[in-house]
C-alpha cells in the first residue's frame, strides 16, 4: 500500500522480531472490517449482538486482570531522566527496549500482524498527525477503525516522509507482571505489550494524542490536552466554544453531550459536541484566538451511569456501529446492560457478567463492587458521526475558537461549584493545583484525593514542571486568550449525596462562564478567584435547589484551602526543580490572600 521506505523497513524489523504468520494491511474499507468482525466472532473474541436492536454492535470481554489503564506500568523513556520528570515512570530507552524486545520476540507466532495506518485529526489538515499501529489484536483494529481515521489515504498523505508515530502492540500473554505501556517521545515511538484493554492498546488515543503529542506540542508551540470541546448555541444562533479538562471518569463525555434543561431548551439553547476526551489547541494567526480540534473520530466512553436521563445523546450514539467492552450480556434478547442503564437488569439465567460468568442481579449490593454485572470501567466505542448532537465543525480543518477553558475535579469539599481565575497565568496555576478523587478508569484504589494537574497527570509525555512552563508561555503568544475557570460538580452534603444536580443542569454554570467571557455579568472577588453572585446562577425550574444551596456551593472555606495549600507545596516539591517560578509566585499570592 506504500513505498515509504521508513515505514516498510520498520515493519520488516518489527515482524522479524515478533514473527507473525502473516501481515495484513488495514485499508479502511467496510469489506475488510466486516471480514475481521466475522473472524473475531468465529473465535469468540467478539459476540455479535442483536442486529435489529443494535445494528453492527458487538460485545468484547477483556481478561479479568486487564480492565483499565495501568499507570504504574506506563513509562516515558527519554534519554535523560529529568526530561520525563518525577511524576512519570522513567527508564532509559535502550534499557526499556532490551526488556521489551525479549517480551516481543516471537510473540506473534501463529498470529497475524495488522498494520493500521491512521490519522489523528482530519487527513491533510494542518492539525493532523499520522501514526501506524502494528497489532496482533482484531479488537484493537476494529476499535481503531472507530476511534481514528484509518485508511490508504493516510499513507498517501504521509508520502515518503519519516514523520509518523510508530506504534507496536502485542498481546503476548496478557501477563500483568510483564505489562508495559511505553513512550519514546524523542524518537516518535510507542510500545505496548501484555494488555488488550482500551487506553493501553488503542495507541492513537492517550499514548499518541496526549503523551507523544504533548511533547510535540511543546516543541512546536501548540498544546495537546485531556479536554472535551463543546459549543453552546444561543437562541440568536451564535455559538461559543468551551474546552474542559476533567480527570478520567469525571464527566467529560457527559458534559460534551449535555441536553439543556427545559427552561433553556424552550428559549432555543442547544449544545453541540466537538469532542469528549482530547483537544489539540493552536493559536490562529488571523484572529489571535486559540482554536481547538478533536483529533479522534469516535468516543471510548464509560458505560455505567449512561442512561436516557443522564446522557441520552451518548446512549443513542452507541445504539449502532458500537463495540461494548466488559458490560453485561443479556442473553434473552442478545443485548447489553450496565449498572445505571435502567431498572430492568436481565434476570438470573439470562445474564452473563463482564467476567463471562452467570450473573444474578438480585445479589447486587451497591457497596460491593464485586457484585456488579458490568465492570465500573466498562466502555462503549462508538462513532462520533452517530452522535445526535455532533457539531457541524467536527471535521473542520481549522478547528473552533475557544472562549473558555474549564478545569474541574471530583471534590467532596473545598472546591466551589465554579470560580474564575484572575488571568491566564493564575489560570495556569489553577490547572496545576487541580485535585480529584481517583476513579475506576485506572487500576488502583478508588476515591482517594490526588493532585491531577490539568487532568494530565497520567498523560504528560515530559517533565510536569516543563509542561506548566509551556502553559505559562502559551499565554504570552495568544493575543485573544480564552478565560480560565474551575468547576466542581461533585460537592457532597453530610450524608455524602451530591448537592448539585449536575449533567444537563451544568449548562447553568456554563451560561455564567460564557457571560463572564463577554463581560455580561459581575462576580465577587475572593482569595481563590472570581466567584458568581449566587443570584447569577440560574436556578429556574430546579427542584430542591434554592438560593441558599447555591450560596453553600459557592463558599470558599479558608481553613480547608489553607490545608490544600500545604498539600500543594508538597506536590510542587515532588514535581521538583522545574516547577516554574510563576507557579510559586501564584501559590505565595494565594496563601497571602487566604491569610489576609
Ligand atoms: P474518561 O472517558 O475516563 O476520560 O471519562 P469522562 O471524563 O468522559 O467521564 P464521563 O462523562 O464518562 O463520566 C464518568 C462518571 O461521572 C459517570 O458515572 C457519570 O455518571 C458521572 N458524572 C458525569 N457528569 C456528572 C455530573 O455532572 N454530576 C455527577 N454527580 N456525576 C456525573
Ligand atoms: C481515560 O481513562 O481518561 C479514558 C479511557 O479516556 S482510556 O482510553 O482507557 O485512557
Ligand atoms: Mn479520558
Per-position DSSP letters for 126-157, written without gaps between them: TT-EEEEEEES-HHHHHHHHHHSEESHHHHHH
Query: Would you say the CB of residue 198 lies under 6 angstroms from ligand 2?
Result: yes
User: How many structural domains is the chain composed of?
Assistant: 3
Query: Would you say the CB of residue 66 lies under 6 angstroms from ligand 2?
Result: no
CA of 423 to the centre of ligand 2 (A): 30
Q: Are residues 360 and 376 in the same domain?
A: yes
Q: How many CA atoms lie within 13 A of 260 on its CB side?
A: 23
Is 372 an annotated catalytic residue? no
Q: Which of 331, 361, 386 delimits the end of a domain?
A: 386
Please give the number of the atom of ligand 2 that sits closest to the Cα of 68: 9
Query: Would you say the CB of residue 501 lies under 6 angstroms from ligand 1?
Result: no
Distance CA 235, CA 365 (A): 45
Ligand 2, atom 1: closest residue by C-alpha: 248
Residues of the chain with pLDDT under 70: none
Residue 367: per-residue pLDDT: 86
Q: Are residues 429 and 540 in the same domain?
A: yes
CA of 10 to the centre of ligand 2 (A): 28
Query: Would you say the CB of residue 498 lies under 6 angstroms from ligand 1?
Result: yes
Residue 586: per-residue pLDDT: 98
Query: Would you say the CB of residue 314 lies under 6 angstroms from ligand 1?
Result: no
Query: Would you say the CB of residue 561 lies under 6 angstroms from ligand 2?
Result: no
Ligand 1, atom 32: closest residue by C-alpha: 251
Residue 447: per-residue pLDDT: 86
Bridge partners (DSSP) of residue 341 are: none
Ligand 2, atom 10: closest residue by C-alpha: 199
Provide the whole-model pTM: 0.98
According to DSSP, residue 386 is labeled: G
Q: Are residues 254 and 215 in the same domain?
A: no
Query: Would you say the CB of residue 211 lies under 6 angstroms from ligand 2?
Result: no
Residue 366: per-residue pLDDT: 84
The burial class, CB within 10 Å (0-12 / 13-18 / 19+), for 564 is buried
Q: Do residues 435 and 564 make contact, with C-beta atoms less than 8 angstroms apart?
A: yes
Distance CA 27, CA 6 (A): 19
CA of 459 to the centre of ligand 2 (A): 10
Pocket test for ligand 1, best of 246, 254, 492 (most atoms within 8 A of CB): 254
Q: What cell was used for 78?
A: 527519554
Please give the number of the atom of ligand 1 that sits closest to the Cα of 302: 12
Evaluate whether residue 497 is within a structural domain: yes
Please give the number of the atom of ligand 2 that sits closest to the Cα of 200: 9
Evaluate whether residue 54 is within a structural domain: no
Residue 29: per-residue pLDDT: 98
Q: Are residues 87 and 195 in the same domain?
A: yes
Ligand 2, atom 3: closest residue by C-alpha: 248
Q: Are residues 530 and 577 in the same domain?
A: yes
Evaluate whether residue 338 is within a structural domain: yes
Q: Are residues 571 and 510 in the same domain?
A: yes
Pocket test for ligand 2, best of 441, 442, 444, 457 (most atoms within 8 A of CB): 441
Q: How many CA atoms lie within 13 A of 350 on its CB side?
A: 13
Per-position DSSP letters for 246-315, written without gaps between them: --TTSSHHHHHTPPPPHHHHHHT-EEEEEESS-EEEEE-TTT-BEEEE---SEEEEE-TT--TTT-HHHH
Per-position DSSP letters for 89-107, written without gaps between them: EE--HHHHHHHHHHHHTTT
Q: Which domain holds residue 368?
A: 299-386
Q: Are residues 409 and 318 in the same domain?
A: no
Query: Would you say the CB of residue 199 lies under 6 angstroms from ligand 2?
Result: yes
Q: Are residues 341 and 234 in the same domain?
A: no
CA of 255 to the centre of ligand 1 (A): 8
Distance CA 577, CA 277 (A): 30
Q: Are residues 556 and 423 in the same domain?
A: yes
Ligand 2, atom 9: closest residue by C-alpha: 199
Q: Are residues 377 and 425 in the same domain?
A: no
Q: Are residues 244 and 316 in the same domain?
A: no
Q: Are residues 143 and 265 in the same domain?
A: no
Evaluate whether residue 500 is within a structural domain: yes
Distance CA 370, CA 372 (A): 6
Q: Do residues 195 and 173 make contact, with C-beta atoms less than 8 angstroms apart?
A: no
Amino acid at each position: 500500500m506504500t513505498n515509504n521506505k521508513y515505514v516498510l523497513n520498520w515493519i520488516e524489523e518489527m515482524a522479524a522480531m515478533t514473527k507473525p504468520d502473516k501481515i495484513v494491511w488495514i485499508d479502511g474499507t467496510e469489506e475488510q472490517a466486516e471480514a475481521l468482525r466475522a473472524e473475531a466472532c468465529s473465535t469468540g473474541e467478539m459476540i455479535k449482538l442483536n442486529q435489529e436492536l443494535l445494528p453492527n454492535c458487538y460485545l468484547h470481554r477483556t481478561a479479568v486482570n486487564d480492565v483499565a489503564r495501568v499507570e504504574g506500568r506506563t513509562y516515558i523513556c527519554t534519554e535523560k531522566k529529568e526530561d520525563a520528570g518525577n511524576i512519570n515512570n522513567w527508564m532509559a530507552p535502550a534499557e526499556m527496549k532490551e526488556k521489551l524486545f525479549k517480551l516481543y520476540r516471537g510473540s506473534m507466532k501463529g498470529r497475524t500482524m495488522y498494520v493500521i495506518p491512521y490519522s489523528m485529526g482530519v487527513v491533510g489538515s494542518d492539525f493532523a498527525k499520522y501514526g501506524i499501529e502494528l497489532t496482533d489484536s482484531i479488537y484493537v483494529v476494529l476499535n481503531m477503525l472507530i476511534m481514528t481515521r484509518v485508511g490508504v489515504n493516510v499513507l498517501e498523505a504521509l508520502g515518503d516522509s519519516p514523520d509518523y508515530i510508530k506504534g507496536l502492540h502485542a498481546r503476548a500473554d496478557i501477563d500483568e507482571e510483564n505489562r508495559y505501556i511505553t513512550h519514546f517521545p524523542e524518537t516518535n515511538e510507542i510500545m505496548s505489550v501484555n494488555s488488550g484493554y482500551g487506553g493501553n492498546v488503542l495507541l492513537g488515543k492517550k499514548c499518541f494524542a496526549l503523551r507523544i503529542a504533548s511533547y510535540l506540542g511543546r516543541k512546536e508551540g501548540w498544546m495537546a490536552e485531556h479536554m472535551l470541546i463543546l459549543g453552546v448555541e444561543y437562541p440568536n444562533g451564535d455559538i461559543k466554544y468551551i474546552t474542559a479538562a476533567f480527570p478520567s471518569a469525571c464527566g467529560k463525555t457527559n458534559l460534551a453531550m449535555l441536553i439543556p434543561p427545559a427552561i433553556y431548551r424552550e428559549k432555543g439553547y442547544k449544545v453541540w459536541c466537538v469532542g469528549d476526551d482530547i483537544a489539540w489547541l493552536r493559536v490562529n494567526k488571523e484572529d489571535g484566538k486559540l482554536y481547538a480540534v478533536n483529533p479522534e473520530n469516535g468516543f471510548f466512553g464509560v458505560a455505567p451511569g449512561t442512561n436516557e436521563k443522564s446522557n441520552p445523546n451518548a446512549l443513542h450514539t452507541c445504539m449502532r456501529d458500537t463495540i461494548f467492552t466488559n458490560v453485561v450480556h443479556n442473553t434473552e434478547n442478545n443485548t447489553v446492560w450496565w449498572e445505571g442503564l435502567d431498572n430492568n437488569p436481565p434476570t438470573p439465567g439470562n445474564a452473563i457478567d463482564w467476567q463471562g460468568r452467570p450473573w444474578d442481579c438480585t445479589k447486587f449490593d451497591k457497596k460491593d463492587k464485586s457484585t456488579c454485572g458490568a465492570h465500573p470501567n466498562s466502555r462503549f466505542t462508538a462513532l462520533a458521526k452517530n452522535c445526535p448532537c455532533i457539531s457541524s465543525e467536527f471535521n473542520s480543518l481549522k478547528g473552533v475558537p475557544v472562549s473558555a477553558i474549564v478545569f474541574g475535579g471530583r471534590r467532596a469539599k473545598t472546591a466551589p461549584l465554579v470560580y474564575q481565575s484572575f488571568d491566564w497565568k493564575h489560570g495556569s496555576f489553577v490547572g496545576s493545583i487541580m485535585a480529584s478523587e481517583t476513579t475506576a478508569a485506572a487500576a488502583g484504589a478508588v476515591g482517594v484525593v490526588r493532585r491531577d494537574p490539568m487532568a494530565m497527570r497520567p498523560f504528560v509525555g515530559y517533565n510536569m514542571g516543563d509542561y506548566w512552563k509551556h502553559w505559562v508561555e502559551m499565554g504570552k503568544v495568544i493575543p485573544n486568550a480564552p478565560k480560565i475557570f474551575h468547576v466542581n460538580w461533585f460537592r457532597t452534603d453530610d450524608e455524602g449525596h451530591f448537592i448539585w444536580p449536575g449533567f444537563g443542569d451544568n449548562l447553568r454554570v456554563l451560561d455564567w462562564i460564557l457571560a463572564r467571557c463577554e463581560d455580561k455579568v459581575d462576580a465577587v472577588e475572593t482569595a481563590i478567584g472570581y466567584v458568581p453572585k449566587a443570584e447569577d446562577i440560574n436556578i429556574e425550574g430546579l427542584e430542591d435547589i434554592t438560593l441558599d444551596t447555591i450560596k453553600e456551593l459557592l463558599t470558599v472555606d479558608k481553613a480547608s484551602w489553607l490545608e490544600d495549600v500545604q498539600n500543594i507545596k508538597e506536590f510542587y516539591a515532588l514535581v521538583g526543580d522545574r516547577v516554574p517560578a510563576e507557579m510559586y509566585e501564584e501559590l505565595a499570592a494565594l496563601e497571602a490572600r487566604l491569610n489576609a
